[in-house]
């Protein structure tokens, strides 16, 4: 069984920054095929960023240049540094681990960007 727990969300003003963390625990996993997703009210869940075990990253066009995904294998943790936040970044942010054909999700952390 694999568990993912997100943290670091909160209320921030436009232009501000937040750093999300996703701690992974359990057996038999590796931090490969990790992803950050978000879901705003009334919208579908969308991909924000991905990172693989070799450090390859991919970003949604809407966050390129503002968000950075990274991982610390020693801590089994994946991070999402979010800068220059906009009101449209408001959403619940989830992390996902893909392993052996199964997707494991955390419960999410709320990010609200508002003045």
Give 86-90 contacts, CB < 8 A, sequence gap 24+: 86/14, 86/113, 87/14, 87/113, 87/114, 88/40, 88/62, 88/113, 89/38, 89/63, 89/113, 90/40, 90/114
Q: What is the pLDDT of residue 31?
A: 75
Whole-number pLDDT of residue 30: 78
3-state secondary structure of 101: coil
Work out the percent of the chain whose per-residue pLDDT is above 70: 100
pLDDT exceeds cutoff 80 at 66 = yes
Q: For residue range 9-57, what is the model confidence (pLDDT) as tens digits?
A: 999 999 999 999 999 998 878 778 899 999 999 999 999 999 998 889 9
What is the reported pLDDT for 99?
Answer: 86
Is 71 within 8 Å of 79 (Cβ atoms)?
Answer: yes
At 12 the pLDDT is 98
Q: Is the pLDDT of residue 101 over 90?
A: no
The pLDDT score that the predictor gives to residue 27 is 83
């Amino acid at each position: 069984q694999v568990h993912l727990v997100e943290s670091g969300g909160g209320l921030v003003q436009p232009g501000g920054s937040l750093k999300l963390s996703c701690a992974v625990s359990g057996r038999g996993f590796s931090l490969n095929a990790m992803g950050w997703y978000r879901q705003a009210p009334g919208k579908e869940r969308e991909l924000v960023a991905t990172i693989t075990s070799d450090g390859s990253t991919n970003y949604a066009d809407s966050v390129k240049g503002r968000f950075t995904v990274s991982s610390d294998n020693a801590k089994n943790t994946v991070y999402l540094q979010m800068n220059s936040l906009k009101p449209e970044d408001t959403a619940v942010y989830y992390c996902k681990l893909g392993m052996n054909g199964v997707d494991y999700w955390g419960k999410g952390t709320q990010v609200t960007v508002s003045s």
